[in-house]
Structure 1
Amino acid sequence: MRADRLVSLVLLLRQQGRMSATALAEELEVSTRTVLRDVEALSAAGVPVYAERGRHGGFALLPGFRTELTGLNPDEALALLVAGSRRGAQTLGLGSALASAMLKVVDALPDSYRDTAAGVAQRLLIDPETDLLSRRLVADEIPDAVAAEILRAVFTGHKLRIRYATADQPPHWRTVDPVGLVTVRDRGYLLATRSGEDRTYRLSRIQAAEELAEPADRPDRVDLDRAWQERSTRFRSGGDQVTVLVRVDKDRREELVGTAVAVLGEQSDADGRLRIEAAFQDARHAEWALWQLGTRAEALSPQWLRTTLAERAAALAGRYASEAVSEESVPADRVSDG
């Protein structure tokens, strides 16, 4: 870990120029005391890092010093920089490793290409944290220790013991054979087998994990894309799924489709609206999805869903139908002094 940190420190100084101990500590996620010790270690190893005193001082490298990282052309480096802007690495607990790798990618470029690649990368934004309506896209959060154990078991091919919490049951321990990891829209999944049966575990629901010494029972090679498609198909066709026929405005189609498990059919009505047959995970999922669309969508069937939405809307209308509002329920800055 320290060797990686020392390399990252050198690359930061190469690319940023002079940096204070505080700024280096923030970038490397360590204390300023650790930064000072690292600088001393680099100097002892012959790396020409020196300190500048004063208000705008800090640490810097002697002009002309560079690390020997070669082999990337500008297009390859740009592709890596763009890929590195995606949040999948954060989902799998690889955020700090990604940051270190991006420093090395930029430093690998010749001086004549470095500024160009970095500038082009700044013109591309992949998977921002909010959508166009400023709705925050919440990614799964996985403790670093849990992510590290899962990654080791997947990479080394060892069995994995996890404490997993399903949506409707208390958490309990189970031992699985890890196959691979998949990220979808900032959600991470562990593909595994248990007693020979395919299992898919959402990473955010794994509360603890322990890599075991016993080798996992799994094939030497795996087609993760095919495995994911097969499990996705089984998921869409089983469980408590419900099928809903919806009339929706064209400009809200993507919102409806994005929340559905699957789209089973679609056609245009004479008035320009779309008639979509969609599958949802369960009754609660269907109710939630249609409620989000308000008057821009109408559930045509099943009847129980229409009844549920009507009752919910009536209850909300009743809540706001009262003409009198007591002063106690109005914020102080909304009450007139007169």
Structure 2
Amino acid sequence: MVLLLRQRGRLTADTLARELEVSTRTVLRDIEALSSAGVPVYAERGRHGGFALLPGFQTELTGLNHEEALAVLTAGSRRGERVFGLGSALASAVRKVVDALPEGHRATASDAAQRLLIEPETDLLSRRPVTEEVPDTTMIEVRRAVLAGHRLRIHYAATGQPPQWRTVDPIGLVTVRDRGYLLARRSGEDRTYRLSRMLAAEELPEPAQRPNQVDLDQVWRERCAQFLSSDHIAVLVRVHPARREDLLSTAVAVRAEEPDADGWLRLEVTYQDLWHAEWALWQLGTSAEALTPQSLRTSLHHRATAVATRYGHQPESRHLLPS
């Protein structure tokens, strides 16, 4: 609270409550406690009133706690703080970092931060990213087990199956396009669990059966290769650059990409099955062309022929009968 008041000046009780994720009653109680402890905080009444510190008041640098340090380290990994439930810790850590800067540097850093925007809520087409929600209580248990090296019980709802409790050995957490995954082992077998499908989690006291050191990037690449090698269809497709993102939004994965001779792009993408590939490429119309497999080209040709036949003649004139 002191850091917020130092950096922003006068703030209302409602603003402090929102920033600190507590109730207004808690803010008022803590303001009174600060005042009793000798911190020169005072209230200003009126329409534009709030709480403020006397000018020139300084505090000692408060060291980062474990959660805040972890949040700072993950801040550069594409919203890792949001997916892994570290948003509140990151906000607190950033306040401490800013407060530790010399006065001149603090103003420069604040101005620079206002001119850099990383991954806004919508893109130029006003599409909002889909961020999967994971209950805080579940995320905390998963994160603790991963970092402490303990076994983990998860209540997991796999696709097409009723939720079941499973005991796993957690290896690490990965976020991809705002989707979080737990890499783990179960009964000696590699497993990858979607965080959004975890209904509950419990950290267990016994140690996890896992290596002491891990190259998480390498493990993730291996899991991806294993995932793509089973029950999926690989498609070679040409696409107009303007529709590239639309193509990627429907594909399971991209295996290769290179420019084509006419300015289009040639990509090897993966879909769940033939029906999924047909549906996805149909959405792109003439802005994409499936080159292989032939079965996909045939199914798209049959669909296009049926549509052309349907619209190739004038519809019959029909009149609604009076009721």
Same fold flag (TM > 0.5): yes
- Aligned equivalent of 1:286: 277
Query: Which amino acid in 2 is paired with 1:50?
Result: Y
**Structure 2 counterpart of 1:276, from 267, 274, 291:** 267
Matches within 5 A, 1:117-266: 117-236=109-228, 238-257=229-248, 259-264=251-256, 266=258
Q: Is the partner of 1:150 in helix, strand or coil?
A: helix
Mapped contact 1:242–1:283 kept (Cα < 8 A):
yes
SS at match of 1:93: coil
TM-score with structure 2 setting the length: 0.84
Query: In structure 1, what is the Cα distance between the partners aligned to 2:293 and 2:122?
Result: 33
**CA displacement, residues 236-259 of structure 1 (integer Å, 9 cap, x when unaligned):** 2x2211022322223334543563
Measure, in 1, the Cα distance between the counterparts of 2:164 and 2:94.
38
The alpha carbon displacement at 1:122 in A equals 1.5
Q: Which amino acid aligns with 1:239?
A: S
Out of 91, 97, 108, the residue aligned to residue 99 of structure 1 is 91
Aligned AA (1:38): D
Q: Is the 8 A contact 1:142 1:204 kept in 2?
A: yes
Q: CA deviation at 1:50?
A: 1.5
The whole-number CA distance in structure 1 between the counterparts of 2:78 and 2:61 is 24
Q: Check the 8 A contact 1:84/1:98 in 2, yes or no.
A: no
Cα deviation for residue 55 of structure 1 reads 2.4
CA contact (8 A) 2:171 2:185 kept: yes
Change (3 A) 1:243 1:116: same
Change (3 A) 1:105 1:317: farther
Which AA in structure 1 matches 2:161? Q
CA distance in 2 between counterparts of 1:170 and 1:23 reads 43
The alpha carbon displacement at 1:276 in A equals 3.5
The 1-side partners of 2:148 and 2:73 are apart by 27
Amino acid at match of 1:134: S
Q: Which secondary structure does the structure 2 equivalent of 1:139 belong to?
A: coil
After TM superposition, give the deviation of residue 151 of structure 1 in Å. 0.9
> Quick one: distance in 2 between partners of 1:129 and 1:37?
35
Q: Could you tell me which amino acid in structure 2 is paired with residue 305 of structure 1?
A: L
Alpha-carbon RMSD: 3.1
Which residue in 2 is equivalent to 1:302? Answer: 293
Please give the secondary structure, in 1, of the residue aligned with 2:61: coil
In the alignment, is the contact (CA less than 8 A) between 1:70 and 1:109 conserved in 2?
no
> Is the aligned partner of 1:30 residue 2:22?
yes
Cα distance change, pair 322–165 in 1 and its aligned pair in 2 (3 A): farther
Can you list the C-alpha shifts for 1:312-331, whole angstroms capped at 9, x where unaligned? 66569969x9698999xxxx
Alignment coverage as a number of residue pairs: 309
Q: Distance in 2 between matches of 1:183 and 1:324?
A: 56
Question: Which whole-Å CA distance do the structure 2 matches of 1:212 and 1:178 have between them?
Answer: 11
Equivalent residue, structure 1, for 2:103: 111
Quote the sequence identity (%). Answer: 66
Shift of residue 288, structure 1, vs aligned partner: 4.2
Equivalences for residues 305-316 of structure 1 within 5 A: 305-309=296-300
